Chains A and B, each alone.
Chain A
Amino acid sequence: MAPEPPLLSMSGITKSFPGVRALDGVDLDVQAGEVHCLLGQNGAGKSTLIKVLAGAHQPDTGTIRWRGEDVTLRSPIAAMRLGIATIYQELDLVEHMSVAENVHLGHEPTAGGFVVRGRAAKESTAQLLKRLGHPEVDPGRLVGELSAAQQQIVSMARALSHEVRLIVMDEPSAALDPDEVDNLFRIVADLTAEGVAVVYISHRLEEIRRIGDRVTVLKDGRAVAGGLPAESTPTRDVVALMTGRNVEYVFPQRPAAPPEGEPVLSVKGLSRQGEFDTLDLEVRPGEIVGLAGLVGSGRSEILETIYGARRASTGQVLVEGRPLRPGSVRAAVRAGLGLAPEERKAQALLMLESVTRNVSVSAMSRFSRGGWLDRGAELEAARAATRELSLRPDNPSAPVRTLSGGNQQKAVLARWLLRGCKVLLLDEPTRGVDVGARAELYAVIRRLADEGLAVLLVSSEVPEVLGLADRVLVLREGRVVHEAPARELDEHRVLDLVMEGSPAS
């Protein structure tokens, strides 16, 4: 490498928020044309660091050097002018505007003060989309009509519509299928070949090995390792740096005898137009059944339909032999179903409320007479349920938004524990949960099953399904293509099954 200064060099960056020191003297340097991976658990400071880099946060102390010169990134516009573009995890697109309008948002081509509509903008957008390998996206379409993967492409096109030298990508693969991830990596490779630097954030360690040049690991607001070679550093070392201890996937012991007894949940011929087709499954008390499949295989839709949040086209859901009224969440909850949804914050939690109120919300009638709440009983019951799951902090009045991802998930589980549900539907239970906290969550789920709960689990992480479930149903395009005890399957076999016949295999 030439002795020229790094493209970007951040040193001694600190940033405090009320109550937390989010960044505590972080150094990061990025060379032109490299993929620099930023790793760390939730709360390690990744988001804060990239917001400093994007000009959205001002650091308390520390210096930022850009191409050898000290700079202050006062605003996102200042960062953009220098050539720093950020693609956030939560895409910042305007749904009711067209692709072209989104790409040029904020720097619309103008003539005499008026925004130029029409061809020029569309053509330059089409060029960018073509460069990104998605010529099929029509620049005139509304962004709201596009798939998640296409929206991400639009977001990237917007970044490239500026003169960029550095692109920050925050978990870009989170919402993508494997073949779309391949395309993403191709784009990243093209960009770096042109000399653009990429700061790549991901939870998926295997991706970092595939595309990363160097790795910086953040933990508790500090860079515990800077610029490690991505290819040769063992995964175990990286995980150890992130968690501070040696953790891999640790799954609890399965019970010696397979669960017996009548199935508590039976699904018969359940279909929803265009999502999944004639699904049959049974879950017994004490059993964990896993659904494995890619994004788009209908996994989440199946859970939500069983739960009554979506109405089935045909088929039946039976709990303890009694059919549920279709399309009614309340009927499902009354019959003993509980759902821990994929989007915890949007679909499960009352973010402004305390842990207690989040836990008791589904069982309020247990603490009330004639609508009048017995708050003492409510608090005691919520406390018992959260202690049962070792939720931290052990403070029922803590606002739920201050909890870590794993503990927020425990609050959702405690809700159903308190309600006394018989069947637990888990949709991506460890999404957004630290690697270190996952083992504990797995143990909790297994223990709930051991105590007689029937669990239906959906996860995009195949090792999670194989490690946690007793029995696995493999889904492809809304159909069950294989069913087997988990111990008879391995990751490769499952991946072969889910990708069979698809162009990506």
Chain B
Amino acid sequence: MTQHVSPPRDGTGKAAPVDGPPAWRVQLGRADVRTLTLLGVLAALVLIGGITQPDSFLDTRNLQLVLTQASVIGVVTVGMTFVIISGGIDLSVGAIVALASVWATTVATQEFGFAGILFTAIVVGVGCGLVNGVLIAFGQMVPFIATLAMLASARGLALQITDGRTQVVTVPSVLDLGERDSYILGIPPLVLVFAAVTVIGWLVLNRTTFGRRTVAVGGNAEAARLAGIDVRRQRLYLYLLSGLCCGIAAFLLIVLAGSGQNTNGNLYELDAIAAAIIGGTLLTGGRGTIVGSVLGVLIFTTITNIFALNNLQTDVQQIAKGAIIVAAVLVQRRTASTH
């Protein structure tokens, strides 16, 4: 039976003023709970540190050190967060940091001074990211495999360049950046770089079409493609971005260590992935926050510091880190299901 009636005309088509709760509050909801939880964990850690080692932990120098250490892995984690949100993974970040740091500290490079070192670190990082991106986006390789290959090659190349030796930096302007004299209002410049990368990362993810496309590709790549998004180009850009972050991190590490070594950035890939995950980034893509990842980095760095101050060995630290990853994921699943 088929009958025909006039179409109902409802919906004015005119945009009415916003009613109901404002969009920001509705959208915040769950992310807010997660951020507060992470902040709570961080506060608890600071409290533990303050109680167990009241003198050494809360010392300004120690706090500066913690933040400086967090900066290097933090910058890497911001790039990693973008890649994971897009549904990918970058296992090569630690190796890229190593390669960029040794390439930027060869005798030849150091002749070009501060600019030469900075430029080389970033170009090497972006170059590696470009190779990753091309293999993944246009070579249709699985990110896990493409970046695993990059991990192996970049580490090998880093060893070849250094021949296993530490390359000491002799450029004074680079070394000065790590000195107390160059602290701004008591904040090390490296930490300011980390803060800037975090803010820019947050803005790019939440306020630009690039960020939106990243989330769309990670949430449903096929839907993104059929919606007219250039998924391959987006993927290419994302691995470039991760490489860029590695280049910046390599420069920070050169300043911090005063040298370049092929063993730099060892297991950064796992630290960055772990920080992103306890920060609430879905390993399957489509969801994640920069703030969560940065809090994840701060939590891990603080734990390492507290354990070191209490003379606990690294093996105990590793066990604690593992436990925290498991606890964080379990807690998040619980909060997710009650919302």
Contacts and interface: CB of A to CB of B under 8 A. Distances in A.
Interface of A: 18, 248-254, 307, 309, 329-330, 332-334, 339, 341, 346-354, 356-357, 361-362, 364-365, 368, 371-373, 375, 379-381, 383-384, 387-390, 395-397, 415, 419, 440, 443-444, 446-447, 450, 463, 466-467
B3 A371 contact: no
A361 B212 contact: yes
A466 B222 CA distance: 31
B10 A390 contact: yes
Contact of B15 (A248, A309, A384, A444): A384
A330 B228 contact: yes
12 contacts: A18-B339, A249-B1, A252-B6, A334-B228, A348-B226, A350-B220, A350-B286, A361-B224, A373-B208, A380-B15, A383-B16, A450-B7
Contact of A333 (B5, B6, B223, B228): B228
B323 to A, nearest CB: 28
A143 B87 CA distance: 27
Contact of B216 (A249, A350, A419, A466): A350
Contacts of B229: 361-362
B2 A467 contact: yes
B13 interface: yes
Contacts of B216: 350, 353, 357, 361
Contacts of A389: 11
A349 B207 contact: no
Contacts of B16: 383, 387
Given A18-B337, A351-B219, A351-B220, 19 more contacts: A249-B2, A309-B225, A309-B226, A332-B228, A347-B222, A347-B223, A348-B226, A349-B223, A350-B223, A353-B216, A361-B224, A361-B227, A368-B208, A371-B209, A387-B14, A419-B228, A447-B7, A467-B2, A467-B4
Nearest to B287: A352
Contact of B212 (A347, A364, A390): A364
List of 8 A-B pairs having minimum Cβ-Cβ separation, nearest first = A333-B228, A443-B7, A252-B7, A397-B26, A350-B219, A390-B11, A384-B15, A388-B13
Given A249-B1, A252-B4, A352-B287, A387 B11 contact: yes
Given A252-B6, A349-B220, A397-B26, A415 B208 contact: no
Interface of B: 1-16, 18, 20, 23, 26-27, 207-210, 212-213, 215-216, 219-220, 222-230, 286-287, 337-339
A352 to B, nearest CB: 5
A309 B228 CA distance: 10
Nearest to A398: B26
Contacts of A253: 4-7
Contacts of A396: 23
Contacts of A381: 15
Contact of A346 (B15, B208, B213, B220): B220
B316 to A, nearest CB: 37
A415 B229 CA distance: 13
Given A346-B223, A347-B226, A361-B224, A379 B23 contact: yes
Contacts of B219: 350-353
A248 B3 contact: yes
Contacts of A254: 4
A18 B336 CA distance: 11
A372 B223 contact: no
A307 B222 CA distance: 14
Contact of B228 (A349, A362, A372, A387): A362
B226 A251 contact: no
B18 to A, nearest CB: 8
A238 to B, nearest CB: 14
A310 to B, nearest CB: 11
A126 B286 CA distance: 43
Nearest to B338: A18
A372 B207 contact: yes
B304 to A, nearest CB: 33
A248 B2 CA distance: 8
Contact of A388 (B4, B11, B224): B11
A466 B27 CA distance: 42
A49 B210 CA distance: 43
Contacts of A450: 7
Contacts of B11: 387-390
A362 B209 CA distance: 11
B15 to A, nearest CB: 4
A251 B4 CA distance: 5
Contact of B227 (A251, A252, A348, A375): A348
B266 to A, nearest CB: 34
Nearest to A370: B208
Given A18-B338, A443-B8, A362 B227 contact: yes
A415 B227 contact: yes
Contacts of B12: 387
Contacts of A444: 7
B160 to A, nearest CB: 39
Interface centre among B14, B213, B223, B287 (most CB of A within 10 A): B223
B2 A466 contact: yes
A109 B59 CA distance: 67
Nearest to B229: A361
Contact of B8 (A356, A379, A440, A467): A440
